[in-house]
Amino acid sequence: MNFSTKNHEHQNKNIWSVSKKAVFLMLLLPLLAISQNSTEYGVFENALLTPNPTQITQFEKGITAHNKKYHGDGAYGVRVYWIANGPNTGSYVWVMGPFPWSSLDNRPLQKDGHDTDWNTNVAPYMMPGSGVQTYWRGQTELSRFPKDFTIKNMAVDTWDIKRGKYEDAMKLVKKVHAVYAEKSPDETYGIYTNEFASTKEGKDLAVISFFEKSAWLGEDHSIAKKYDEMNGTGSWKQFLNDWMDITNGGGTEIWVYREDLSGISGDVKVSERQ
């Protein structure tokens, strides 16, 4: 599932399709089951990191050692992604989780040498303003992980939902989810919502499509035809109009998984996300 923001005309043709120019955001990764407590849910912590361009080698060395030591498993496991396009090209996204909010009380901190290691071996090689964090909740009922896979590349689309329109947006997402479940059962994607969304940042919803080869970006998945088949002729056009009415637009990025910098592998098991 993919959203493209090349321009308005392109959006109106390919909002939920695999777009030729698909690109950005969050976060994000497939949601894994992390608690038997039904009141808790999985959250991902994302930090946008921009290294000093003259110190990339030092930055990568420091963050690799840090992740291997402090973020190699469990709720605090970390994956690192490199952003391949857009304003954040060349930056990295440090993603921890999924974890329940309660686990943050026991995360590695100063007492374990965690903070000192970060401040000594990672932070000095980053540009001012790096490290802005966001927290994303995985919406398991709207996501599709039909089989085990290994993360390689992700097309990350983020959308700015108009104030008071969140429920309307989720209803439309559910409709598209139903089409993919019926017509494209092998498609792998995750739906995430920002736990602390702000009107200033404008990133409320993230749709992450996982793919292996770049040729995937140019494929035509014919979502419009499939949507009309399930909902009636002309329904896709109406969907596009409705989506434009409840959003202020969005942005897309391609994230490339950097296993060499990460604390955990890119392997994702379906059984762990049920």
Q: For position 62, what pLDDT does the model report?
A: 98
List, for the chain, all residue ranges whose pLDDT scores fall below the cut of 70: 1-38, 110, 271-274
Q: For position 2, what pLDDT does the model report?
A: 56
Please give the residue range of the domain that contains residue 245.
8-273
Inside any domain, residue 3: no
Inside any domain, residue 116: yes
Inside any domain, residue 1: no
Q: For position 8, what pLDDT does the model report?
A: 39
Q: For position 1, what pLDDT does the model report?
A: 65
Q: What is the CATH number of the domain that holds 211?
A: 3.30.70.100
Q: For position 33, what pLDDT does the model report?
A: 38
Q: For position 11, what pLDDT does the model report?
A: 42
Inside any domain, residue 12: yes
CA angle 5, 239, 30 (to 5 degrees): 60
pTM as predicted: 0.84
Inside any domain, residue 2: no
Inside any domain, residue 218: yes
Inside any domain, residue 184: yes
Q: For position 152, what pLDDT does the model report?
A: 97
Task: Indicate the number of domains in the chain.
Answer: 1
